Structure 1
Amino acid sequence: MTGSERPRVFHLITRLLKGGAEAKTIATVCGLDDYAFTVGYGSEYDSDQVDRLEREGIATKQFPLIRHYNPVTTVPAVLSLARYLRREEFDIVHTHSTEAGIIGRFAAALAGVPTIVHTVHGVPFADDRSAFLNRFVLACERQAASYTDRIVTNADVIADDYLERGIGRRDQYTTVYSGVDLDAFADAEPADDLPGERPRIVMVGRLADGKGYEVLLDAVESLDSFEGSVCIVGDGPLYESLTTEIEDRELADQVCLTGFRDDIPCVLAASDVLVLPSFREGTPRVITEAMASGLPVVATDIAGIPEQIEDSENGYLIQTGDSEALANRLETLLADAELREQMGRHGLERANRFSVPTMVEELDRVYRELVGEQVGSTGSNV
């Protein structure tokens, strides 16, 4: 790279779907002008996301051998990616998520890429995964960290967790909170087509293992005299099984699956409480979105969530799998509109640290430090 050229940065993510990790990645490459970005992704992708990147002038590249927790294709994926990286001569490789983070960093080291960055979007070690898988991922993360110049986490507690597990060194870590377009949520008009009555409990996310949907259903079953509704917003592999389970539990009159919606600000504006009883997370964007919408949140006390939710101030924290605690907190909030409003105000005050401009500026600073030269002024167009 000469002084007149923009640094060439390659982002790699396992799946280019419509989740929080993808949103953060897309906001980064669309928000920084002083770099030439390419976004790589594995076998699973959403064509709308690819089209959006290409409309923004961001190059894309699919790597079909990168698959979600598929060890059979891991070595071929590393070799294929290394050949590509060696040919393209990127200045920085920036990986995201567990599989792409391991494959991408091994390949970048093999290809001799000058600078390697990895973002941890969520802690991959969880009680609901097998002990063998946790040990395998831990071994890979420790090795990959030795090739990594900077490890970006969504919360300080995630960096502490990784260091306690022997992953990398303290000086490798930087915390950059996931950014959200706060204005889009503060100014949203409530959706008028959501099923059920208010007060409305809402859960937004991919319908996949680890999100705690069964914990929510257990809690709803135990609620006394609940006359509101529950909307589960999102799509994914659990859609059919959740539909069946809701029917089998005879909860269909109160609990509805809406499928994927692209108007989440309007959905949150038409809701009263956000729940997120996940078993594993990073620093979930949907919690920031709920804060920006003025909603109280009930979520599990894991990863970066306590850096978003101050217990009893803008929501409640519960332990993973504790449906009784979730039900108790929901009963408290559903019975007290004034408390919901008060917690919502506290959430609005805390949301500013999670804005897109702040996130982009901090990632720009990371790149500048690693590249070792100035590449423009602020580099931000958000």
Structure 2
Amino acid sequence: MKHKVCFIGTEITPSNDSSFVGGHVNTVVALSKGLSKLGWKIHIVTTPSRFLKNANFKFPWAEFHLIKPKGSYSSLEYNINFLIGAVRAIENINRCEELDLIHGHSGYFSTAIIPAIAKKKLSIPALFSLYCPARLFPSPVLGDKYGIKLLSESLTRIIAVTTNVKKSLLSCGVKSNKIELIPLCFDDEVFNNRSLSDDSSEPDSLFRKILFVGNADRTKGIDIFLKAAKLILQKYPNVRFIITLHEPYEVIQNIRALASRLLGSAVRIEGVVRNMAKLMASVDIIVVPFRSTEGISDIPLVILEAMAIGKPVIATEVGGVTEVIRDRENGLLVKPDDVHDLANAIITLLADPGVMNGISKNAILSAKCFQSTEVSRKLNALYLKIIDNKD
């Protein structure tokens, strides 16, 4: 008989075409596929995506249970609605199928309230994966550390996706024997250097292309990217810049106007890309100029996906990024909020194809331990250990 686990998290949105809607979201989807292949039945309690309006929630590897909270995303009303709806959904699933485990996923520890309540009501082991340095809510609040410590005691295990996240949990007083270190993962069926290749048939295939993936939040550093791009064009006029944003249409239009003023026809702005893997394969360099990873995946997933395809990544020295990128070996590291440092790093790669090729080869090797196949095995081993009461 199959073991059964229920994942909980907002906007966990699957796609057939590697659409990117967020780091931990794509990780949860990849994990559910991997665990399904290992014999698990997966239930996912989630909310509709703000960006993929017509997402298909019917997949053979998971059963989705949609909660439609009232209020705007991240508002108090929205979160309370999701909490109540998610706990009810878990109770209904368990009534029909008797779950073995409950597993919450988020960048904020407050979401752990859902698996903690479900554990208390149903006496089922509950885990929580934390994807960025520990805090209860998007904005720091008085008693953050105490709240995290108290909530952690109601959970069976807490999974930290990086050593940096683990350290932040320990600094809140979370017991070390409660914490497991299991990294983020990417879907290695989609993101790999075997099935993808550059598409020279694209209209701008004669140009060197540099990609930014993210949103308009200041933390993501799109302003730094645009300013660095302007400097690059002065030295390399044959470079083209591609920016993909999971943002509402009006926000994309505003960014498009700003980018056009700075870069003219050398920039292309897109919304949610329906085939991120194909787009990544078509560019030369991927830039991740985050100012911080707080409230975001501690290792931006786009870094791992790009490395798996064999694309050189330039990223800032923030959060858990330095746990995966070794400067000038499998990527380039730059200082956050530094336009000139970023521009110089891009020039380093454009000027020396040998350096670029060496980094690409090393990146492919470094990404292997983040493959969903590998990470799913680690999570499966932890699940079975907990179920068998051998922990």
- Normalised-by-shorter TM-score class: 0.7 to 0.9
> Do residues 150 (structure 1) and 154 (structure 2) align?
no
Residue of structure 2 aligned with 1:368, choices 380, 384, 387: 384
> Do residues 39 (structure 1) and 40 (structure 2) align?
no
SS in 1 for 2:230: helix
> Do residues 97 (structure 1) and 87 (structure 2) align?
no
Give the drift of 1:234.
3.9
Q: CA offsets per residue over residues 287-326 of structure 1, 9 Å max, x none? A: 1222122222111212221122101212222232222211
Partners of 1:78 and 1:107 within 8 A in 2: no
Partners of 1:243 and 1:257 within 8 A in 2: yes
> Do residues 86 (structure 1) and 86 (structure 2) align?
no
> 1:1-382 counterparts in 2 under 5 A?
5-17=1-13, 18-33=21-36, 34-44=39-49, 46=52, 49-51=55-57, 54-56=58-60, 58-65=62-69, 68-89=73-94, 90-98=99-107, 101-123=111-133, 132-133=139-140, 140-164=147-171, 166=172, 168-182=174-188, 184-187=191-194, 188-191=196-199, 192-193=201-202, 195=204, 197-223=206-232, 224-227=234-237, 228-237=239-248, 238-249=251-262, 251-278=263-290, 279-280=292-293, 281-372=297-388
Partners of 2:312 and 2:356 within 8 A in 1: yes
% identical aligned pairs: 18
TM-score under structure 1 length normalisation: 0.84
Partners of 1:7 and 1:36 within 8 A in 2: yes
Q: CA offsets per residue over residues 268-305 of structure 1, 9 Å max, x none? A: 22222111012223222221222122222111212221
- 2: CA distance, partners of 1:85 / 1:15: 17
Counterpart residue identity of residue 63, structure 2: A
Give the drift of 1:359.
0.9
Would the alpha carbon gap of residues 259 and 86 (structure 1) be closer, same or farther in structure 2, given more than 3 Å must change? Answer: closer
Partners of 2:116 and 2:126 within 8 A in 1: no
SS in 2 for 1:32: helix
- 2: CA distance, partners of 1:299 / 1:58: 33
Would the alpha carbon gap of residues 360 and 141 (structure 1) be closer, same or farther in structure 2, given more than 3 Å must change? Answer: same
Give the drift of 1:219.
1.5
- Number of equivalent positions: 363
Would the alpha carbon gap of residues 30 and 75 (structure 1) be closer, same or farther in structure 2, given more than 3 Å must change? Answer: same
Partners of 2:42 and 2:63 within 8 A in 1: yes
Would the alpha carbon gap of residues 352 and 308 (structure 1) be closer, same or farther in structure 2, given more than 3 Å must change? Answer: same
Would the alpha carbon gap of residues 138 and 236 (structure 1) be closer, same or farther in structure 2, given more than 3 Å must change? Answer: farther
- 1: CA distance, partners of 2:166 / 2:358: 32
Would the alpha carbon gap of residues 221 and 95 (structure 1) be closer, same or farther in structure 2, given more than 3 Å must change? Answer: same
Would the alpha carbon gap of residues 350 and 255 (structure 1) be closer, same or farther in structure 2, given more than 3 Å must change? Answer: same
Would the alpha carbon gap of residues 82 and 181 (structure 1) be closer, same or farther in structure 2, given more than 3 Å must change? Answer: closer
Give the drift of 1:352.
1.6
Give the drift of 1:242.
1.2
Partners of 1:196 and 1:254 within 8 A in 2: no
Give the drift of 1:236.
1.6
Give the drift of 1:370.
1.3
Q: CA offsets per residue over residues 210-257 of structure 1, 9 Å max, x none? A: 3211111121223341321111134324422211221333x1322211
- 2: CA distance, partners of 1:213 / 1:231: 11
Would the alpha carbon gap of residues 115 and 50 (structure 1) be closer, same or farther in structure 2, given more than 3 Å must change? Answer: farther
Counterpart residue identity of residue 273, structure 1: I
- 2: CA distance, partners of 1:156 / 1:178: 12
Counterpart residue identity of residue 100, structure 2: D
Partners of 2:334 and 2:342 within 8 A in 1: yes
Greater Cα shift, 104-113 or 320-329: 104-113
Give the drift of 1:194.
6.2
SS in 1 for 2:307: helix
Would the alpha carbon gap of residues 135 and 328 (structure 1) be closer, same or farther in structure 2, given more than 3 Å must change? Answer: farther
Partners of 2:193 and 2:308 within 8 A in 1: yes
Unaligned runs of 5+ in 1: 375-382
Counterpart residue identity of residue 197, structure 2: E
Give the drift of 1:40.
0.9
Partners of 1:91 and 1:113 within 8 A in 2: no
Q: CA offsets per residue over residues 49-79 of structure 1, 9 Å max, x none? A: 543xx23152211222386421234344433
Would the alpha carbon gap of residues 214 and 171 (structure 1) be closer, same or farther in structure 2, given more than 3 Å must change? Answer: same
Partners of 2:188 and 2:373 within 8 A in 1: no
- 1: CA distance, partners of 2:203 / 2:141: 39
SS in 1 for 2:184: coil
Would the alpha carbon gap of residues 199 and 370 (structure 1) be closer, same or farther in structure 2, given more than 3 Å must change? Answer: same
